[in-house]
Structure 1
Amino acid sequence: MLHTVVALTMMQIWTSRFGDCQPEPSESVKLRLVNGGSRCDGRLEIQYKGNWGTVNARSWDMPKSNVVCRQLGCGAVHQAFAGGYEEGSGPVFTPNIQCGGSEASLQECKSEPWGDTGYSHSQDVGIVCKESLKVRLEKGGSPCAGRVEVNYRGYWRPVYASSWDLQDATVVCRELSCGAALKAPHEYHFGKVFDYIITYDVNCTGTEAALRECQSEEWDFYTHPEPNYAGVICAGNSVARLVDGDSRCSGRVEIQHGDQWGTLCDEYFSLEDAAVVCEQLQCGAVKATPRDAYFGTGNGPVWKDNYICLGNESRLADCQVSAWSRISCSHGNDASLICTDEMWSVRLTEGESRCDGQVEVYDNGRWSRIQDNFWTINEANVVCKQLRCGVATSSYIASGYRGKEGPVWVTDLQCEGSESHLQNCSASIFNRSFSDFIGVGVLCSGE
């Protein structure tokens, strides 16, 4: 049920006294916000003398509301009004408190005696703290695409798209930890919804941490005859994995959004998309993209992200994402992928971090060290690039890596330094087993 919102104005502190109702300095004043969408918005209630009661809007102001939000761990105040929530019950207090707005709790404010005013509950104070203003994306097929909706006073409602642009979308993607903003669609791109809107004329600079920090019309419940809703398509985290295959480079394609893993629909999973996944997982080239849940059906959501990759990107997050298709997909359409698994995996060991140490290569089911008497900064740069460790700051041909019986690659790698993987360099290689050899090492600039 929607209620009439009455704006608060600054008023003189009401100085009437109420006998022995002065709260003791040692007495803890408990607060809560009720009948809102979270613990950070709702009708203000205070427990005093063992009883929970509401607060009348007379003599209440924004500095006091700011202290309430801070005391509840809900950030700063966003709005305060009278009569904006369902009417309360019990006593109606008018605590004569003088707050500057920076206090940690109401007990730190100057206070005169309290009492039950006998007023009706029609003017109970309501408060919306900023931490309650959550954002979500709906009807986009993933948590990182869809119609922008805000949880305001307990209701999820859309944002109107007047002046909506990519800067506004950038802030939403940042707030949801969904990577970069790719598009800012509007009208009814993500479906029509005949409902109240929350705000309009949103004007973000693109640097804000959350949508609530952007300039806009006052947040309230509005009606508008034209369906023009703000939408966002973010790149997402696009962390990929292959599951239930015969090796680490084959299986069902799964993508992580936030902390949730879901599958992709094979209808929109192209060879170019597959090539990027193989590259991202360091699994060589595409060998096959079997259909119809070849590696079994997954759990969780079926993301409707439609990646538009060129095939030369290093990860899915670098690809464009289109609006999700209207075709319904189930787990029976889970995308599958088999990569050639020919890419040499590389690691650095015995260093102080994963970006420092002796170079080892995984090939034919085992890790092998490298002996290369012509190792240069070019080869080192390729290792750092393959490990996503920046650039090489040092390369070593070091007898300090002597010891340890085991397989060793004796190589003559010749890299230009611009290759993305060691496998792309020209080389002559043969395997031997050494207990004493001169190894190669790399120190990279870092991730």
Structure 2
Amino acid sequence: MVEEDGSLSKCSYVKNDGSCDPAYVVCSGSLKPRLKSSDYCSGKVEVNYENQWRPVCGGALKDPNTQNLFCRTLGCGEAARSTDYERSNSMAISAMTCKNLTQHNDLKECKASLEQKACTSTSLQCSNSKKMALAAGNACSGFVVVHSEGKQAQVSYQGWSKLEGEKLCKDLDCGRLVKVGPNDTIAGSEFWSNTFNCTGVEDEENIWACEKPVPPSKKELLYIECKGEPTVQLKKKCHGSLTIDGMEVCDTSWDTTYSAKVCQQLKYSNAIPGKANNSPAIGGKNYLHVHCEEHHHKIGQCNRFKEPCSGRLVSVYCTKNVSFTTAERCGGQIEVRYDTEYGGKVCYDEELTLEYKERFCEQLKGCGKPIDTPKETKTEPFPKDISEWTTVLSCPAGQKDFRYCLSRESCSDKTPAKIYCDGYKPRVIIKKEPFKVNVLAIVLGLGLFLILAIVIFIFVRVYIIRKSFKTFPPGFPLRHDVERDSGEFEELHSKEMENTGSGGIRSESEVLTENDKRSLSSYDDIDKVSELEPLTSRPSTTEDPHDSGVQDNKLEQITKEDGETYEVDDPQENYDDIEADLEPTQTTAEVHDSPRNAPECSTNTPPDLVLGDDGYLVPGQDE
């Protein structure tokens, strides 16, 4: 490091491996100031540091000599006043050190410190400041006037065109131009000494770069209308959180006088001074920050910019439609209402004078004159802690309208406001005795409930059983009949089993003898059937080779010596139930000599049979 008046030639250099950060040099003569706004010689203080415009914290401009140096450097005279502008957490000039402040007109002898910290930037107004605004209209329409050195002057229409009008609408943050033109002169109007023309002007920062030192020859007022009229709203009409163009407003740079500008723009009379318990802002979200000047009579005319908010949100309460009431009829705790909405209880520093009490009772209508506080009232006692109340009633001397006696602040060190008039009727508060639990009644109730439940259960059970008996058809055996019949069957079955057991196992010869008897009985039955039904002869057919597997199912043909053929059933079909080891028996067919008529169903004669002389079918003979 070298002395201040040294040079780098006296320094020694050490070569490094490139692991350190590069060094930056900011020369003192490179610091350049500016006042950022649409006004001339007035606005937010910024310094060009490392080729970037950085805001200057209020702590760096505490010294009035430093403020004067800024104004002289810009050719704006001396500093008139400084105000807080906005609070942010960005890279900013946190400190400035200048030598010989009164002997220089620039920042060459100043050193600046840059760091990232939360600080409040500064707005500076110099003595030569000039501000252009709109009057007798809305925030973005009206006659153009200039405010300078505490005076107001009208601007002449001379030299104005669409080009200048577009520039002014942009400076006023009012969007695009709608129209610009002359208007009749107002009696007693004083005109600004210069005219404006932006033709040929390059890199103009604001409309003041187009100002020409040419006095106006035409005495016509300049009227302008822009498209971007800001939309100002309160959440609950006459009170609540404030939004401008749909964006909530941060209260870090908010002044209580701004609330009056809100109510005036909305035509809601005046504002109730003070701050309410507003909602906190959300971190990292952008909100509107508002900064108003003396000549701004409406909130839409104030400077606005978007930044994150480190405080709370703005709420405004206007006096229009403010009314007062009491907790009881014609007396008790004083309360305030906004339109039809309850606004809370009211407190005061000291009791109202008799004059104000009379006015208050008159506003209550039909309550007569004020009276002293009743000795015995059955109303609830006033709370001891009223720190959460935020409406204070305090009327200055000569103020006759109670609406302008209100302010928004904490009631922590005040007393509840109350009044009593002739028609006072206290609200009777009936205190209810605490409920006592009767254990005996509960036990008796539970016992009765259980008894009732048992009776209902028995009744339902009997009803279901009776209904089930009615559903059986006549003659249907009941349960005891079924049990009785089942017992007799079991008795007979048991006797049969006893007989079988006593006889032992039968021998094989006995089984065979019994089977033979059954077989002979079957043959006798066949003979009887044969006598009753005549046999019908069938022609012999050639055996189909495909039917060899079903030979046992066909009728067996028997041919006698005289050439007659008879058919009989296969005897094997009648012995499916006989054991395989029994010897087969032969079946003899009986031939009857007497002719029998064929059944009616056999009227069609087969083609290979002919009717013989004796009436029987015989095989056909070759002719």
Q: Which has the higher helix share?
A: 2
Pick the structure with greater CA Rg: 2
TM-score, normalised via structure 2 length: 0.28
Instruction: Point out which structure has higher relative CO (alpha carbons under 8 A, 6+ apart).
Output: 1
